Chains A and B, each alone.
Chain A
Amino acid sequence: MINVLFFGCLQDAAGADRIQSDFQPTPADLIASLATEKPALAEALRQPQVMVAIDQTMAGLDSPLTDGCEVAFLPPVTGG
């Protein structure tokens, strides 16, 4: 099981701020697994400016996931 978090505009694309997913080896695999049901979300997550964090540390689309981990998709930040 993987806990998936969405922030900013990605929450609109996902229709939720968090979901649970079956285990996937990498964030790229996770996006692919979402593509069937939510193609627009998968496309939004694949935008090059979207960043991925695994357990609150910046990671890549090919970084390994572990069972029970937290994966967050972060659109470009707009604080301050």
Chain B
Amino acid sequence: MSSQESGPRELWATRVGLILAMAGNAIGLGNFLRFPGRVALYGGGAYLIPYFIALLILGLPIMWLEWAIGRYGGQVRAHWLGPMMYMITKKKLGEHRAKIIAGVFGGLTLCVAILLNAYYTNLIGWTAFWAGMSISGKVAEITEVGQAVGYLVKIISDPVYNLVPWVVSLLVIGLVVSPGVSKGLERAAKVMMPLLFIFAIALLITSLTWRTPIKPEWDSIKGFLWLWTPRPEKLADPASWLEGAGQIFFTLSLGIAGIIPTYASYIKREDDIALSALTTASLNEFAEVICGGTIAFSLGYAFGGELPIGMVYVDGKSPFFLAMAVYPAFFGKLGGVGSFLGSVWYLLFWFAGVTSAVAILNTIAEMFQDLGLKRSTATFIGILLHFIFGVPIAIEGMMTVAYDWGPSTVYLDFTDFFVGSFLLVVTAFLETIFAGEFVWPEGYEEVNRGGFIKVPKWIWKYVLSIIAPIYLLGMLIWLPWSARLGKLIETGAPMEWLGPTLAGISLLFTVAFFIMGYVIAVKAVEKSFKGKG
């Protein structure tokens, strides 16, 4: 990046392509796996209260803010959050303070990107495993959730089954990111995203109409009703409110390493962002609340009775673990047709995951490019960092498979909780402070420039810049009292020490990545923007 260059490095070719790529970035495993698990754990239908409050007060306003930050940054060739926040805060806060702010956002960007993508790509690897099982026809041997759980334990506890699909997925993601993202990804998103929606709707209808495939008492509608039965006592746990906000950030990709600002930095200066951002959020909510909130537990109860529900609700098992065991039983029961449908579903599912992971790795590539590295080298470094952090996920299950409480997913679950409920919230909190009305009043004009709808001033001035930061600060203060934290790192005898150790390793990596990201941001800013207005 030289100081003479202006305008974005890359541009989206079409409006539809931009929206579908943004939706592809937002829609992923979180919609179909994480969301139903959160509903089950944190109050059933009552969880909708913290969830939709978070969507209206935090989700939509911060979504608009991130699109505005990104498009503004793109005009000066700032393509990731660190340099973007430097340019935004420099005028009001001065160069020195702006550099520190850039460093903090750089640190958050790198640690969120690596932590989240390392475990996320592991999960994508698991979907690749099930795609392989479907393509080979082996999925037809599975007819009940219990059998699928057996296979899943095999994946988690066998490093070969775990590592190979993960490494292959990482390489594919690297191949997409390395040559540049906007053109290849845009073309793919135009085909794959509509297919993903068609298939999700078909599965939704099937799950509500094919009600008793195994036993008459295992009625899919009862599974659906169990999920949505309100359990309001759960709302007394701060974790419900934290997880409501955390899920909104996770699902809309807000606060996640600035991937929305990075994608938005490829938008032309006069193109609409207000309606496009709202459309992306709407598509994502459709996939999450309507499709994700219906499919997992309806199919789960119809094919596994109380087992899948009990595993999440009583044992506190990861919803990723559960849902990866529910869908295979459904496809297996369909025989040969199920193998075909399973192949299509898991490949699309894998694609949805890959598009999200690509967006995160793209941000890391942009970071290292700002240090003067070639894009291919920058991408390779990103993949390497994923690998270093992600290996413990692949081997923790193997270490603990022999115990009653194993195989362990503590490292994965703790990282998921720490990123989803803490780091994303911190990032969003700082965004609302440093890019809100008080430091960057121009942001309001930025979001509405070329807009097909007008974002009201009061949303910007009061909701985004006052209510949202107070809400987010409340979440952060509440976090240490969360009932879930202690449960997350529990392992049983004779290895009680293992859970806290794995959580500690995850935290150490977090600190290391934060420092690395801070330094990169400061260096990038000094190299590219020193003296620029």
Question: Real complex partners, A and B?
Answer: no
